[in-house]
Structures are given as structure tokens and as C-alpha cells.
Amino acid sequence: MKKFLMDMFGDKSDINPKVVVGVLAFCTMVLYSFANVVMSILGKGFVVEPIVFNGMMYTTFGCLGIAGMEAIFGNKNIEKTKDSTTEQKTE
């Protein structure tokens, strides 16, 4: 598990860690909302703390927004690094 996490958050990983954090924040936000609905149906009080919900919402928007912008515009630094390593191997 430790090796997987180190590989995932490394620079040369195929998995984007921003997407992972964004999806986890989204899942947490959905579970929090689902718990609120279920507790309301059961007639029990469940206080939705706005600071927690807003924190998860901003984390989701931020992580997935940044990952989306990278997918659209690309990360120029990574491409330059890949090109230079390819050129070194071919020489």
C-alpha cells in the first residue's frame, strides 16, 4: 500500500493525485448528504455543518477543476522532461 501511494503521488505516475483527492472529497460530500436525508426521514436531527460541507465542496471543485485544466491545456513541463529523456536514450 505504501509503495502504491508513493507511486501514485510521484511525478512519473499515470494516476493523477488531484483526481483521486477530488473524487474522495466528492464521495465524502455525497455520503454526508445521504446521511442527512436518511436521518431526516427517520425523524432524527442531523446537523449539516456548513463549514464541513463547504470545505468538501471547495476541495472537490478545486481538485477536479485543476485536473481538468491540466487535461485541456496540458502540463508543458512534463512533456519537455519526457522529450529530453527520450532524446538522451536515442543518442
pLDDT tens track for 5-55: 777 666 677 777 777 888 888 888 889 889 888 998 999 888 878 898 888
What are the structural domain ranges in the chain?
Answer: 17-90
pTM recorded for the entire structure? 0.63
Give the Cα separation of 45 and 42 in Å (integer): 9
Q: What is the pLDDT of residue 42?
A: 92
How far is it, in rounded angstroms, from Cα 42 to Cα 34?
12
Integer Cα distance of 67 and 51 in angstroms: 24
| Position 88 pLDDT exceeds 70 | no
